[in-house]
Amino acid sequence: MRRLAALPLLVLTLGCTTTSDEPVPPIVQSEAFAFVEDQCSGCHAVRPGAESPNPRAPSFEMVANDMGFTPVTLHEFFRDGHDVAGQMRIQLSEDNAILARDYIMSLKHDR
C-alpha cells in the first residue's frame, strides 16, 4: 500500500503534459501498461472508464475496485495460473505478474 500512495503524486507532476480530454495517468506510459495493453486488452478494458471488448471480462478498473483483490492476492492469482471458466487461461512469469498487478492496482480509487 505504501508504494501505491506515491501514484497520485505522479499524476500531479506528469498529468499536465497530455493534450487529450481525458487525463491519461502516467502509468499509461509505463512498461506495465504496455504489457497489459499487449496481453490483456483483447478482452479486458485496461484503461479506466473503458468498456471491455469481451463483455464477460471485467474491466481492470472493476478488478482493482470491486472484486476484493489486494496486491498480494492479485499477484498470487497471476502466478498460480488460472483457467477461468474456459474464458481466460493465465499464468504469468514473476516479472509479468508484477507488471499486471501494479498496473491494475494503480486503477484503485481512493475511498
Residue 12 or 83: the one with the smaller Cβ distance to ligand HEC is 83
30 binds ligand HEC (CB under 6 A): no
3-class SS at 87? coil
What is the identity of the amino acid at 64?
Answer: A
Q: Which range in 4-12, 13-21, 22-30, 35-43 contacts ligand HEC by CB under 6 A?
A: 35-43
Residues 59 to 88: which contact ligand HEC by CB under 6 A? 63, 77, 84-85, 87-88
53 binds ligand HEC (CB under 6 A): no
* 57-101-64-70 Cα dihedral, nearest 10 degrees: 120
- 8 Å CB contact between 35 and 99: yes
- Report the C-alpha gap between 8 and 97 in whole angstroms: 22
Residues 86 to 105: which contact ligand HEC by CB under 6 A? 87-88, 90, 100
Residue (of 73, 46, 40) closest to 62 by Cα position: 46
- 8 Å CB contact between 84 and 50: no
Size, binding site for ligand HEC by CB under 6 A:
18
Determine which residue in the list 24, 57, 64, 105 makes contact with ligand HEC, applying CB under 6 A: 57
Contact set with ligand HEC (CB under 6 A)? 36, 39-40, 42-44, 54, 56-58, 63, 77, 84-85, 87-88, 90, 100
